[in-house]
């Protein structure tokens, strides 16, 4: 059984990459929803520029997962392995 992890708004904001059912990145920044163009139409690089995402915050909150295993070293150290926007 998994244990829920509580996060405050500052930790959550801009630290998740989410995709909706239309294939668009979306984020909730400042209580306002941002939507990208469809990823398959214009590509990942362009759509990542259309929503606010901070790779450093993603790493600090332990966003790198090896599902069914312990955390990857990058998540445990809180560092980004490469730039997620490049």
75 dihedral zone (left: phi>0; alpha: psi -120 to 50; beta): alpha
Mind listing the pLDDT tens digit for each residue in 7-55? 888 888 888 889 999 999 998 888 888 999 999 999 999 999 999 999 8
pLDDT given at position 28: 81
Residue 4 corresponds to which tokens in the numbers above? 């829920």
Cβ neighbors of 82 (< 8 A, separation 6 or more) are none
- Residue spans of the domains in the chain: they are 9-77
pLDDT at 83 over 50: no
Q: Work out the pLDDT band at 73, boundaries 50, 70, 90.
A: low
Give the burial string for 36-69 (b: 16+ CB within 10 Å, else e): beebeeeeeeebbebbbbbbebbbbbbbbeeeee
Considering the entire predicted model, what is its pTM?
0.63
């Amino acid at each position: 059984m998994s244990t829920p992890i509580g996060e405050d708004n500052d930790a959550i904001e801009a630290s998740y990459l989410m995709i909706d059912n239309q294939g668009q990145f979306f984020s909730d920044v400042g209580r306002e929803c941002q939507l990208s163009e469809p990823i398959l139409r214009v590509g990942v690089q362009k759509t990542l520029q259309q929503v606010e995402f901070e790779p450093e915050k993603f790493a600090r909150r332990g966003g790198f997962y090896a599902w069914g295993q312990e955390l990857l070293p990058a998540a445990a150290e809180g560092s980004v392995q490469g730039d997620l926007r490049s």
